[in-house]
Structure 1
Amino acid sequence: MSEWRKRCENEWSLQGAPMPDSLDWKSVYDAKPLGRNLLKNPSPHGVSKDIPPPEPDLPEVPTRGPPRFQPHGFSQFIGDFSGWTTSTETLPYDSSGIPAGAVVCQLPRYSWFTMEQVVDLKAEGLWEELLDDFQPEIVIQDWYEESQLHKSIYELHVKLLGADKSTVISEHTANPTEDCSAYSHNWKEVSHVFSGYGPGVRYVHFQHRLKNQFLNGFYATLSSDSSAAFEHLAGDSR
């Protein structure tokens, strides 16, 4: 047994796992496919869940003129989104709950800011026999900024995809509801564990959506420390 194969088995409990003879065990060990975050750039907003979210800068005097529908000079929106595919969806005005005949000077305008990326599991050091037979658990974790911006400010959509990138083998969606009755400004965790998902998984599609508000300024919902990771295997428990 090679030294590198022995290291992989000892550190990741791979004893008995199906392993093709063609594997380059040094490359497998260097890639460290288990127990690490496979997402690129997990905190593109430049903030951490270990530090309280920054308080928004509220103008002392309301902005004059028509409402601004694109962020301009708003520091919280600035970030490094490399590794992510991003898009923005501006939502129509919500006039529900306004009494008939009421005069409304200005309504808030909301938008969804979507960030997503696809992880190629084989490129990250996993191999087909391991994914199909052992099916190590895939742990999804994400953090978003709790606020009273709206009752729905965050959505998570994760799919395990086949080799064609279109076949969905397993998926998970989260759409938590916020309590807008009392101010609280912390990080909220969203997590899920994929287990027993079946053979054929080759890609992980990770997507979350953050709601922004335009009303006398631009106010964004932040995210931090997004993660998709394979747990260490239990070896002979399978």
Structure 2
Amino acid sequence: MTAAEWKKRCQDDWGVQGLPAPEGLDWKSMYEAKPFGRNLLKNPSPHGLSKDNAPPEPELPEAPMDGPPIFQLEGDFSGWTTNTEVLPYDTSGIPQGAVVCALPQYSWFSMEQTVDLKAEGLWEELLDDFQPEIVIQDWYEESQLDDSIYQLHVKLLGADKSTVIAEHSVNPTEDCSAYSHTWKEVSHVFSGYGSGVRYIHFLHRLKNQSMMSSFYYTRFTDSSVTVKPIKTTP
């Protein structure tokens, strides 16, 4: 196929005409890179779970174990940069003079990664002039460990990886009055965000609980960052 034929194939398959592009763009390589419609995050389901199936019920230990609190998560987190922030014990509700045998200790487990949009097959003219929609989606387990178990922070960054062009944050409050162990969806669409976007920084935090060396954690699955060939500028 000629360069013109590859360009037409890209435009036909992506459903757009007249995409801004530099002279001599390798349309064959762009087509094979499939920059639109695929998940740009690596390892989106480290726990090996899917939103299409209910999250597994936590396994309760037969007897509490001795030793210090456990903060070890199960899963393959390759592709993510991870961090654990252990929170101080909450003693606010304990009456003065009361004897406490054990308290739950909470921690935030953070996972983040940065998507290089040019490395994924997008190009500067497309990002600056066309500004395609950037769709964020995530699913987290309604673990009911606390009234705050999930946070999401997504930033569209410039070429220097420090200039924030647009951002979106989510910090929901959970209803712990009724047990409903399901996946909860979080989503956002970036549009009309302006020129200069070259990277996407995706970070979410999930809360875990350790008590008497028993460890319970909040899982996530099917995280995604997708670019759609939909023009968002006037």
* TM-score bracket for this pair, using the shorter chain length: over 0.9
Q: CA deviation at 1:60?
A: 2.2
**2:147 is aligned with 1:147:** no
In the alignment, which residue of structure 2 is the partner of 1:199? 195
In the alignment, which residue of structure 2 is the partner of 1:37? 39
In the alignment, which residue of structure 2 is the partner of 1:13? 15
Q: CA deviation at 1:69?
A: 3.0
Q: CA deviation at 1:234?
A: 5.4
Structure 1 portions without partners, runs of 5+ = 72-76
Q: CA deviation at 1:67?
A: 4.0
In the alignment, which residue of structure 2 is the partner of 1:111? 107
Letter in 2 for 1:31: A
Letter in 1 for 2:160: D
**1:115-171 CA deviation, whole Å, 9 max, x = no partner?**
100000000010001101111111100000002201111100000000000000000
CA contact (8 A) 2:165 2:193 kept: yes
**2:127 is aligned with 1:127:** no
Counterparts in 2 of 1:1-238, with a 5 A limit? Answer: 2-63=4-65, 65-71=66-72, 77-216=73-212, 217-233=214-230
Letter in 2 for 1:4: W
Q: CA deviation at 1:180?
A: 1.2
SS at match of 1:100: coil
Partner Cα distance (2:133, 2:32) in 1 = 21
CA contact (8 A) 2:51 2:222 kept: yes
| TM-score normalised to structure 1 length | 0.93
Q: CA deviation at 1:108?
A: 0.5
Partner Cα distance (1:179, 1:42) in 2 = 26
The structure whose residues are more often strand, as a share, is 2
SS at match of 1:137: strand
Q: CA deviation at 1:181?
A: 1.4
Partner Cα distance (1:105, 1:66) in 2 = 13
Q: CA deviation at 1:29?
A: 0.2
| TM-score normalised to structure 2 length | 0.94
Letter in 1 for 2:12: N
Structure 2 portions without partners, runs of 5+ = none
Identical aligned pairs, as a percentage?
Answer: 72
CA contact (8 A) 1:155 1:176 kept: yes
Q: CA deviation at 1:101?
A: 2.3
Partner Cα distance (2:22, 2:209) in 1 = 52
CA contact (8 A) 1:67 1:215 kept: no
Partner Cα distance (2:27, 2:230) in 1 = 17
CA contact (8 A) 1:143 1:225 kept: yes
